[in-house]
Amino acid sequence: MLGVLGGMGPLASAEFMRRLTLLTPAERDQDHIPAVLWSDPRVPDRTAARLGGGEDPLPALLRGIRGLEAAGCGAIAIPCNTVHGWFEAMQAATPLPILHIVDAAAAELARLGVPRGRIGVMGTAGTLAMRLYQQRLEGRGYECLVPTETEMARLVTPGIAEVKANRVAEAHAPLAESARALAARGARAVVLGCTEIPLGIAAGPPLPFPVCDTIDALARAAIGWARGA
């Protein structure tokens, strides 16, 4: 049984469950992957904790992990990029393997035909400040471009907030503009490194360059785990 630590945000978690289902080869209910989704949107804001001295989310995260352990799960997927800043602390606190979303993104980039080189990485201000993607991908031959501070303030941060407030259609234009700016600066692909971003990007016409959807990427990693288990 797969454990999904979600609610960050809840729409991204629901979409993760949808993609997990749609990407699983199945002919009937009983062919699908059993999963428990712990969707607790009350987890303190991850970016505020990292950048502004906001409340530590770790105790709430560990409550969710305890719940997934008690449910009998065999591995944990977390459809939120920023929370992977607490990956080591979470992994140290549970015997269950946690699937790392940046590893899943790297596998997805390779699947998209971009196994190395210059890529764009969009994400929350917290994810970018922690250099989550850079730390894990630069050793594998990737060079990560990120939005400028102006692009973050004008496009990415407001776009993510629109999705969290259920205004998905309104999120498309600013998020797509930020992705296009990264491609214009030489990115061969753009990682949508916050699980709200693919929801906004999907609400408009497709972009003319490869995008790495971290919801799909994590769903494929989870399906791979379930097949091997």
Marked catalytic residue, from 73, 144, 194, 212: 194
For residues 84 and 154, is the Cβ–Cβ distance under 8 A? no
CB of 72 to a copy of itself, least distance (A): 8
Tokens of 112: 């998209």
Which part of the chain contacts a copy of itself (CB under 8 A), choosing from 69-77, 121-129, 169-177, 221-229? 69-77
- Total residues binding a copy of itself (CB under 8 A): 42
CB within 8 Å of 136: residues ≥ 6 apart: 100, 102, 103, 106
SS3 138: helix
Verify binding: residue 94, a copy of itself, rule CB under 8 A.
no
CB of 189 to a copy of itself, least distance (A): 26
Binding mask 14-53 for a copy of itself (x = CB under 8 A): xx-xx-xxx-x-xxxxxxxxxxxxxxxxxx-x--------
Active-site residue, 80 included:
yes
- Taking the C-alpha atoms of 168, 173, 174 and 175 in order, what is their torsion angle to the nearest 10 degrees? 70
Q: What phi, psi does 96 have (nearest 5°)?
A: -75, 135
Binding mask 126-165 for a copy of itself (x = CB under 8 A): -----------------------------------x--xx
Verify binding: residue 59, a copy of itself, rule CB under 8 A.
no
CB of 13 to a copy of itself, least distance (A): 7
Q: What phi, psi does 37 have (nearest 5°)?
A: -105, 120
- Taking the C-alpha atoms of 114, 116, 118 and 123 in order, what is their torsion angle to the nearest 10 degrees? 80
Active-site residue, 212 included:
no
Tokens of 102: 């940046």
CB of 29 to a copy of itself, least distance (A): 4
Question: How far, in Å, are 5, 36, 79, 86, 221 from residue 27 at the CA level?
Answer: 27, 21, 26, 38, 21
CB of 199 to a copy of itself, least distance (A): 10
Near a copy of itself by CB under 8 A: residue from 70, 205, 206, 228: 70
Single out the residue of 167, 220, 176, 218 nearest to residue 201, CA to CA. 176
State the catalytic residues: 80, 194
Q: Which residues contribute to the site for a copy of itself (CB under 8 A)? A: 1, 7-11, 13-15, 17-18, 20-22, 24, 26-43, 45, 67, 70-72, 161, 164-166
